Amino acid sequence: MTTTSSPIEHGLVDDAPAAPEGVEPLQPTMPGVAYTAADYFAAEQASLFEAEWMCAVRSSDLAAPGAFERVQIGRESVLIVRGRDGGLRAFLNICRHRGAMLCTEDSGQVRRNLQCPYHAWTYGLDGRLIAAPNMAAIDIDGSLDRQQYGLVPVHLREWLGYAWVCLADEPPSFEDTVIGSVTERLGSSDTVERYGATDLVVAHRQVYDVAANWKLIIENFMECYHCATIHPELTEVLPEFAQGLAAQYHVGHGAEFGSEIDGFTVDGHEGFGRLPGLTEAEDRRYFAITVRPGVFLNLVPDHVIVHRMFPLAPDRTTVICDWLFAPGIEGVESSVELFHRVNVQDFEACERTQPAMSSRAYRNGGVLVPAEHHILDFHEWVTERVGPPH
């Protein structure tokens, strides 16, 4: 099997779809400033990352009571903690006394409580203030409201084995936004459940520090116009991707494995069969789903790949990618290698694009070809919430 491919071999240009009648074939992208300006990024932090549901941690990473992880959501440091009752909770990672950052490690394990490293105010795993030095002088008659001076809670929901958090006072409906976007893409609400992602285990995790704006990463993920050029391994496994049609975004459509392909692996050799809940319709198929603003989900017969994005600056995004397999499976290297290569290829492309965002050549943006026109929906979604870039 060859591992190279080229746009010409795959007839990319000739096979590309035309724009519908009356629609200009070249549509504008957002202007460069939307990808570089500190004030636009700050507006996105406020109106998107701190307003929508963000996928924060893999629940099973916080197995025992006292296990914690902190994540950056918009401008806030958020702490996710496993409680003594077994539940997960999220709090702002800020001491209520004089505001010291409570947990300075990215993850860890405490025994029974969380103690501020500054003046030692101490909080239970449920966030309540439970002790402070000289407490008798603070709580003279024992009436101090420990909840009121407890850690500030953050909304949390668990789904697909992940804890999702939302910083909004009144979060948007999780069912309508997160679950709704998956359902809309797959054409049914139970397809994703059949993969059983909650009970799969993280066989591999890769953290990518990408020097690119988060929107470039989403836009790249949403289109397949680049697939024939930069993804030789992926287009071998999924020949229709070489046509650049973005067929992965048609409702209910999963890209079919090539006839010579035995599994979703770097060289197309056999993987691990299919997950127990799957039907014939999901076998030998790849589904890609974007959950705005920060998750990409990939479903293949024997595993699930979940990307969580954490936009840190206009030109910097951390992407954490988990490969989830059935428990007990070993030897996943060639399965992992396929999408790891795809990730590296994609993120390098995004990094090559980022410097151009501040060039005068991109002052008014670039253009989207017909196979990329669905990206306009994403731009509209952003500008509706954040406002137009200026």
Cβ burial, residue 181 (10 Å; 0-12/13-18/19+): middle
Half-sphere exposure of residue 58: CA atoms within 13 angstroms, side-chain side: 20
Q: In what order do the strands lie in the sheet with 113-115?
A: 113-115, 122-124, 129-131
DSSP, residue by residue, 356-370:
GGGSGGGTT--EE-G
**In the bound complex, what is the minimum distance in angstroms from residue 224's beta carbon to Fe ion?**
7
Q: What is the dihedral of CA 333, 339, 340, 344, to 10 degrees?
A: 160
Q: 53 vs 123, which CB is nearer to ligand FES? A: 123
**Closest approach of Cβ 146 to ligand FES, in Å?**
14
Nearer to ligand FES, 116 or 336 (CB): 116
121 binds, among ligand FES, Fe ion, none (CB under 5 to 8 A by kind): ligand FES
Q: Minimal CA–CA distance to 88: which of 165, 185, 200? A: 165
Tokens of 137: 């002088």
The least CB distance from residue 42 to ligand FES, in Å, is 26
**List 3, 23, 39, 98, residue binding ligand FES (CB under 6 A):** 98
292's contact among Fe ion, ligand FES, none, with CB below 5 to 8 A by partner kind, is none
Binders of ligand FES: how many residues, by CB under 6 A? 10
Smallest separation, CB 57 to ligand FES (Å): 24
Site membership for ligand FES, residue 97 (CB under 6 A): yes
Joined together, the tokens standing for residue 190 give: 């139970």
DSSP annotation string for 21-87:
TTS-SSEE---GGGGT-HHHHHHHIIIIITTS-EEEEEGGGS-STTEEEEEEETTEEEEEEE-TTS-
Judged by CB, which is closer to Fe ion: 211, or 230? 230
- Shortest Å, Cβ 87 to Fe ion: 37
Is 381 a binding residue for ligand FES by CB under 6 A? The answer is: no
- Residue 385's binding partner among ligand FES, Fe ion, none (Cβ under 5 to 8 angstroms by kind) is none
Give the C-alpha separation, 2 to 232, whole Å.
Answer: 9
Q: In the window 104-133, what residues touch ligand FES (CB under 6 A)?
A: 116, 118-121
Q: Measured from the CB of residue 117, what is the shortest distance to ligand FES in angstroms?
A: 8
For the beta carbon of residue 26, count every other beta carbon within 10 angstroms: 12
Residues from 56 through 95 that contact ligand FES (CB under 6 A): 95
Compute the least distance from the CB of residue 107 to ligand FES, in Å.
Answer: 20
Task: Give the nearer residue to Fe ion in terms of CB position, either 71 or 234.
Answer: 234
- Sorted by sequence, the CB contacts under 8 Å of residue 295 that are 6+ apart come out as 55, 306, 307, 308, 309
Site string for Fe ion, 333-362 (x = CB under 5 A): -------------x----------------
**Token pair for 191:** 């397809």
| Residue (34 or 217) nearer to Fe ion, CB | 217
Which residues in this chain contact ligand FES in the complex, by CB under 6 A?
95, 97-100, 116, 118-121
Which residues in this chain contact Fe ion in the complex, by CB under 5 A?
346
